[in-house]
Structure 1
Amino acid sequence: MGTTSNGDRPWESCHTVYTNAKAGMDGVDKEKVQRVIYEMSKGSKYFENEQRKDAILKEKIERMQAQCAKLTEKDIEKFQMVADKRIEELESSRDLSKIWLHSDMDAFFAAVETLENPSLEGKPLAVGSMSMISTANYEARKYGVRSAMPGFIAFKLCPELVLVPVSFDKYVHYSEKTRKVFRRYDPNFIATSLDEAYLDITEICKGRGVTREKVAEELRKAIYEETALTCSVGVAPNRLLAKIGGIGKVTEHILRDGLGISTCEDMLRKSAYICGLFSPSSVDFFLSVGLGLGNTETPQLRLRKSISNERTFSSTDDQSLLFKKLEETAEALSDDLQKESLFGRTLTLKLKTSSFEVKTRATSLQKFIQSKEHIFFHASKLLRAELPLSVRLIGLRMSHFGEAESHPADPTQRTLGSFFTEGTSAGRETISEPTVDHLDEEEESTTDLAPPSSTQQGAVSWLNDYICSLCGYELPPSFLKERQEHSDFHLAEILQKESPTPPKKRRKPTSNGSKHIPIEFFFDRTKEK
């Protein structure tokens, strides 16, 4: 391990390992963490999946470098003029009239567990399982332990680590307490997770004649008094600066290794290359990050496009346990739908296998549903079609929302429409939709489904990691939630077009002179299929 050759230090070339990027990890020995993760993961399915992802990233970087090498001095001069003009336009749009506050609870899950069990105070603590850690407190982070890290690796880094299971009911309870405080300062605050939110405190500062620093300190104190928990707060003229965030991990590596861009200053210094290699929308995004420009207005109220819920657990192929986890997820999703009075018609099942591959399967329903029973019934059919399978994560997503319609209380009860369509389109209810970045190209399609539909042929992919392959809409890779909703929109649109519709009833004269076909006629036809 003491060699200097890069060939003998393979962990140094791994882009996907966990590094000292979280608060409280500044003094962590990054190379030690990388080496432990590499040695502990080597040969595992997780490691193989990370290698595949790393190979894809390497290919993107090489492609970026090749494109960059093709740019002539004349090209660069032309693109620099374009960049300078766009930077001037963006700079003129800078709005310093707003005051945004970003609140982030400190090691939230771990802090809640310590609050309810004071004996954990001062001990390195992580919340999660041996498969995956959700949160690590600051004592654990000193050893390199962090969120999204497998628990078995965390124990290698910190043998004294205390690991407690996730308890979402607790976290939701304390999250609601923090939101009570947020509402005092901004009734329209933007919650991005259980422990994170943006608040527009412009009017509070003006109305009370106080500084932004005063309001920030006041809010931190109010949250502590309400919850006995601490939070970190950032204040700035826009949300980007308030959080000090911008691009995702993959984009960071592409910019750094492909173009030598590591800082915002680099982004502006190499703006000609940005303009020459990316689309106009992406150029605006990168240049805005470089200039520190971000959203200053509160987003307009918009209808939710999807709601999702998922559970991570130790890999298992125990079907009874998988259906239990599915039922728990269906109940959580139903609760979320009921809170927002939403009914959905497109249900998507997400599975992460023991080899860390991700599969999604979707079904377009005849009725808009909301209850746990209906969700579990239809989700069970999707899951059953994939078994046997070893799974480590189950997720459900509901989209394509609409008004509630009268529907059978018993989800197994058939409608007349099913008799019109069942004979000719059985099996079309389930559509296989592989996710772009995770599935192997050699993965077999589900055998009991209908032939590949336009949903499969037109699955959303992101060209150059930015552009939707179906409509050309551009979203940076860090906009995970927006990308998911965008994919759901296309999926729902296609499924709606493909949903079987009952054929028109053909009238046929009968021997008794009636102009109508007896209903038994349709039942008989179905049986003959």
Structure 2
Amino acid sequence: MSKEHKDNENKGLLCNFTHEKAGMQGLDREKINKIIHDTSVNTEFFKREQEHIAIVEEKARSMKNRISESLSKGPDFIREINEEIYKIIQEIESERHLSETWIHVDMDMFYASVEIRDNPELADKPVAVGGNSMIATANYIARRYGIRSAMPGFIGKKLCEELVFVKPNFSKYREEGEKIREIFRDFDPDFESMGLDEGNLRVTEYLINNEMNHDEGRQELARIIRQRIKDKTQLPASAGIACNRSLAKIATDMGKPNGQYFIPFDKEQIIEIMSKMNVRKIPGVGKVLEKTLNELGVVTCKDILQKKYELYIAFQAGSFKFLASAALGVGSCYHHETREEQKSISLSRTFASTNNIEEINKYIAEFSREISEQLDEKNAQIKTVSVSLKTYKFEPKSKSETLGRYIYKELDIYEIAIKLYNELAIKEKIRHVGVRVANIIYRRTGAIDDIIEKVSKDPTPKQSSIKCFSQQCPVCNKVFMYTEKRMEIHLKQCLEEQSQKFQPKVVKKQKNAPQPTITLDCFYKKK
């Protein structure tokens, strides 16, 4: 790879533009990356991302050295790792099932589609939902200019002066999302919701019961689901049909926009399709892993198999199996364990840089309350509490504590979180705070006073109206468990955080005076 080409790829990595979304193929990436790069070059975000790129490149160099040393050990060593790789491949192949059918459905440019439906005058214009600070999604016309989610709006304007901004309306999107999920339930009552506009449906039983369990029937069912969505919402949806969850999601992307794609239930054809697939298209591969693989000469899934020795040496066994499974087109064929088996809960907030104790306390108290409510709903307790911060320079700081007992009450969580915050003793202004709990158990045997307190507060049991789902944020691409309301809160915070990342750096002299210590008095003051 030439230095010029590598520099351009790094510009793309900085701006998360290396992953082509639907409707963005064949664009002048070098030109677009240059505009984004030149606009963000004087920000703290740019500096931090440059540091991250350097870390990835150093990690790749270390991997290359390890690979070179290992392969120089001679034929006996090669024979040994070949046997290990053979065992892993055999294990992967034993997990291949061609009898299950999955349909992955994803609404096309969901937020933008809703707005265009409600205002048809936008149909032939480049549209972005968001504002000058950050874009949540863009329609396909805007994407032809290189505009996409997680991009600051002012950069979008540089790419396309005619870009029209529409303010997000999350209550409207939630309403449409529930209509879509009602349709999903008709075909798979246990479908996996990936947010307001996306779902994984295991439709094997439906196909068998309706005498449709063949290739034509599978494709016809996808058309039926998409048409039902179109009739009920007047919104376009794309779908992928395959023998496992991961392949179905990949197929959806191949069918966009407003179409569907069927991956044959045939081992050889699956491997052939995957061999040409860019590694970034693999669900679970982000920009950092993509960059690492590219540094090792791996661009497509075919490269994964051709460089299996190098990757086996470079990565841990679990990571190697994940990559090899993806290259072979093998994935999970059954629904995940119940969502009650959540391993951790975390909440965070990004805000304008501050050392205002009352504001920071407000967030920590709010997170403690919300986490306690979630634990109470799930009849769960936790043993580990963590606090994470980011300074105005984007430097991350964190501290955690594992207790000798399990807790779930708001005040207990708050007390530990505040103690951890004070122990961090941050002298600079901070712009982000988060609280995370882990080591969750789900069989809490409550004390009698807890039960009495609960019954006295609400003698009539109520069924929770909170709908939980697994969601991938369209801005940061993180996947997490959230309620719809919390997803809306996260997305707003994420857009704000991305916006602040691209603000030019302002140099000010600041006194590094230590912040006052937060105490429990602050907690009760806010009650």
Find the partner of 1:257 among 295, 298, 303: 295
Matched with 1:219 is 225
Matched with 1:123 is 125
Q: Are the equivalent residues in 2 in contact too, given 1:76–1:276 (CA < 8 A)?
A: no
Please show how residues 55-204 of structure 1 align to structure 2 within 5 Å: 55-70=54-69, 71-72=71-72, 74=75, 75-204=77-206
Q: Which amino acid aligns with 1:87?
A: I
Q: Which structure would you say has the larger Rg?
A: 1
Matched with 2:307 is 270
Provide the C-alpha distance between the structure 2 equivalents of 1:381 and 1:408, rounded to a whole number of angstroms.
29
Q: Are the equivalent residues in 1 in contact too, given 2:64–2:314 (CA < 8 A)?
A: no
Provide the C-alpha distance between the structure 1 equivalents of 2:115 and 2:386, rounded to a whole number of angstroms.
32
Matched with 2:471 is none
Describe the SS at the equivalent of 2:55.
helix
Describe the SS at the equivalent of 2:333.
coil
Matched with 2:520 is none
Q: Which amino acid aligns with 1:161?
A: L
**Structure 1: gaps of 5 or more residues:** 411-477, 483-529
Find the partner of 1:280 among 311, 317, 323: 317
Q: Are the equivalent residues in 1 in contact too, given 2:99–2:243 (CA < 8 A)?
A: yes
Following superposition, the deviation at residue 208 of structure 1 comes to 0.4
Matched with 1:498 is none
Q: Which amino acid aligns with 2:312?
A: C
Q: Which amino acid aligns with 2:241?
A: V
Describe the SS at the equivalent of 1:287.
helix
Please show how residues 361-372 of structure 1 align to structure 2 within 5 Å: 368=407
Comparing 325-334 and 53-62, the one that deviates more: 325-334
Provide the C-alpha distance between the structure 2 equivalents of 1:359 and 1:200, rounded to a whole number of angstroms.
41
Structure 1 residues 138 and 343, CA gap change in structure 2 (3 angstroms): farther
Q: Are the equivalent residues in 2 in contact too, given 1:82–1:275 (CA < 8 A)?
A: no
Comparing 135-144 and 5-14, the one that deviates more: 5-14
Provide the C-alpha distance between the structure 1 equivalents of 2:417 and 2:80, rounded to a whole number of angstroms.
54
Matched with 2:14 is 16
Structure 1 residues 158 and 45, CA gap change in structure 2 (3 angstroms): same
Aligned length: 409
Matched with 1:240 is 246
Following superposition, the deviation at residue 50 of structure 1 comes to 0.4
Q: Are the equivalent residues in 2 in contact too, given 1:90–1:288 (CA < 8 A)?
A: yes
User: Deviations 1:223-275 (Å, cap 9, x if unpaired)?
Assistant: 223333222211111111111234222222222212x1211222112222223
Find the partner of 1:289 among 307, 310, 326: 326
Structure 1 residues 135 and 320, CA gap change in structure 2 (3 angstroms): farther
Please show how residues 410-449 of structure 1 align to structure 2 within 5 Å: none
Provide the C-alpha distance between the structure 2 equivalents of 1:379 and 1:224, rounded to a whole number of angstroms.
47
Provide the C-alpha distance between the structure 1 equivalents of 2:78 and 2:88, rounded to a whole number of angstroms.
15
Describe the SS at the equivalent of 2:345.
strand
Structure 1 residues 292 and 133, CA gap change in structure 2 (3 angstroms): same
Following superposition, the deviation at residue 214 of structure 1 comes to 1.2
Q: Which amino acid aligns with 1:267?
A: I
Matched with 2:29 is 30
| TM-score (norm: length of structure 2) | 0.66
Q: Are the equivalent residues in 2 in contact too, given 1:130–1:151 (CA < 8 A)?
A: yes
User: Deviations 1:106-132 (Å, cap 9, x if unpaired)?
Assistant: 222333344445554433333345554
Structure 1 residues 136 and 397, CA gap change in structure 2 (3 angstroms): farther
Q: Which amino acid aligns with 2:64?
A: Q
Please show how residues 299-310 of structure 1 align to structure 2 within 5 Å: 299-301=336-338, 302-310=340-348
Matched with 2:257 is none
Following superposition, the deviation at residue 178 of structure 1 comes to 1.7
Provide the C-alpha distance between the structure 1 equivalents of 2:329 and 2:321, rounded to a whole number of angstroms.
12
Q: Are the equivalent residues in 2 in contact too, given 1:18–1:33 (CA < 8 A)?
A: no
| Larger RCO: 1 or 2 (CA < 8 Å, sep 6+) | 2
Matched with 1:517 is none
Following superposition, the deviation at residue 32 of structure 1 comes to 1.1
Following superposition, the deviation at residue 352 of structure 1 comes to 4.4
Q: Which amino acid aligns with 2:138?
A: A
Provide the C-alpha distance between the structure 2 equivalents of 1:166 and 1:383, rounded to a whole number of angstroms.
34
Structure 1 residues 40 and 350, CA gap change in structure 2 (3 angstroms): same
Following superposition, the deviation at residue 59 of structure 1 comes to 0.4
| TM-score (norm: length of structure 1) | 0.65
- Aligned-residue Cα RMSD (Å) equals 3.9
Structure 1 residues 395 and 273, CA gap change in structure 2 (3 angstroms): same
Q: Are the equivalent residues in 2 in contact too, given 1:342–1:401 (CA < 8 A)?
A: yes
Describe the SS at the equivalent of 2:99.
coil
Provide the C-alpha distance between the structure 2 equivalents of 1:401 and 1:394, rounded to a whole number of angstroms.
25
Matched with 2:268 is none
User: Deviations 1:475-529 (Å, cap 9, x if unpaired)?
Assistant: xxx99659xxxxxxxxxxxxxxxxxxxxxxxxxxxxxxxxxxxxxxxxxxxxxxx
Identity %: 37
